[in-house]
Amino acid sequence: MAAAPPSYCFVAFPPCTKDGLVVFGKNSTRPRDEVQEVVYFAAATHDPESKVECTYVEIDQVPKTHAIVLSRPAWLWGAEMGANEHGVCIANEAIITKEPASEIEALLGMDLVRLGLERGATAKEALDVIVSLLREYGQGGNYYEDGSLCHAFQSAFLIVDRKEAWILETVGKYWAAEKITEGVKCICNQLSLTTRIDAEHPELRSYAESRGWWNGDAEFNFAKVFSLAEDHVKCCAGKESLDNQDGGISAQTMMDILRDKDHGVCVDSESFLTTASMVSMLPHNHSSPCIHFFTGTPDPSRSIFKPFIFADDVKQVPKVQSPSLGDDDPAKTIPRFQEKPDRRHELYKAHEWARSVIETDEDKGKKLMRIMLDLEKQGLEAMEDILSSTEVLDPTEVADLFYDCVDTEIKFFK
């Protein structure tokens, strides 16, 4: 059984946060050489009875899909994390349970992230979308671009909007969920739900009893019933640091946590690397925009978080999008993954140069990081000014925001 990569997702609510914001953060830990891209899809309407082709399977399309921005492994259809125009953010975790994950191709957990964002205008709507699709199509298939071995996992999700969050954990088609409206929460690559369950599959408990994992009399503890390991509630590095912020958690705080290598939040191991990161600021007031920050590059301790705001005519950013291989993509041809194409986008290649400088020239590397973090700080302060302003934001002023930030970063590296 393949090991689940140690990724981390966080959400913090007022009064733990600064300025009454909901703050969301996610590190995507994936195979070291995998490239992630940041892609935007506008809201769209679809013909009746039309289909949508996900990573492995085709499913029924819905009449309308919301505008979304995704950070995703460049070979697949879904996403590790993303947001939609209504202020919903979703992140996915690969998990291992007593129930072996199916290797039969179905929906990936990452497909469900995108589908939840496309179809859910609130966190609860997105949850309902995901569990409905689980029931109808199931989950399964290879999580990695690997033709030699199938790495299959169950899925967990952190689903967040301006007022609440849901932790959703799945075992095949069965699931449980907890609603969060206060404090700080973290999920990782282990089951975290215990005895507090606010929604669940109607046959969850009877299924656990039929498998001999629960006797029907003891208190039902989801993680204990379905986990392989005994340390399932001790997985969340970084949460203690957030708990100690005493009402001061900000986007900057979340970025700092995601950069923490000492406690393992930022992963840089022989097999895995934090290949992309995301932070979001979600104001309670709907007249203020939600602001999302993406690295689009590996290792947040050596990357810049760049802001994105939804607008009517968001400018596409080809420099952070991987080359399209169409129907000839080895991820689409059968048998899959017989070749591994170069999926590096322009920002990724520029960032490779920066990482090599940081790793090989200490003085030059420190100077480079200071300048990079100063660029990030300028962007973060500008976004905080937008949220604190009493004037209504003109969407045309931010349509090019992410494009300009990526362009500036690449020019700086050159």
Q: Phi and psi at residue 254, in whole multiples of 5°?
A: -65, -40
- Report the distance separating Cα 404 and Cα 412, nearest Å: 12
| Selected catalytic residue, list 9, 150, 235, 290 | 9
Q: Is 186 among the residues known to form the active site?
A: no
Q: Which of 165, 213, 226, 179 lies closest to 10, judged by CA?
A: 165
Cβ–Cβ under 8 Å, residues 110 and 79? yes
- Report the distance separating Cα 195 and Cα 220, nearest Å: 6
Cβ–Cβ under 8 Å, residues 376 and 252? no
Other beta carbons within 10 Å of 359: 10
Angle, in degrees to the nearest 10, between helices 401-413 and 346-360: 40
**Hey, what are 384's tokens?**
């905080």
Residue-by-residue DSSP string for 140-158? -S-SSS-SS-----EEEEE
Other beta carbons within 10 Å of 380: 21
Residue 2 CB partners (closer than 8 Å, separation 6+): 149, 151, 152, 153
- Report the distance separating Cα 32 and Cα 278, nearest Å: 18
Q: Which of 40, 66, 70, 36 lies closest to 316, judged by CA?
A: 40
- Report the distance separating Cα 167 and Cα 149, nearest Å: 30
Cβ–Cβ under 8 Å, residues 152 and 101? yes
Which amino acid is located at 37 in the chain? Answer: E
Angle, in degrees to the nearest 10, between helices 251-258 and 362-388: 150
Q: Known catalytic residues?
A: 9
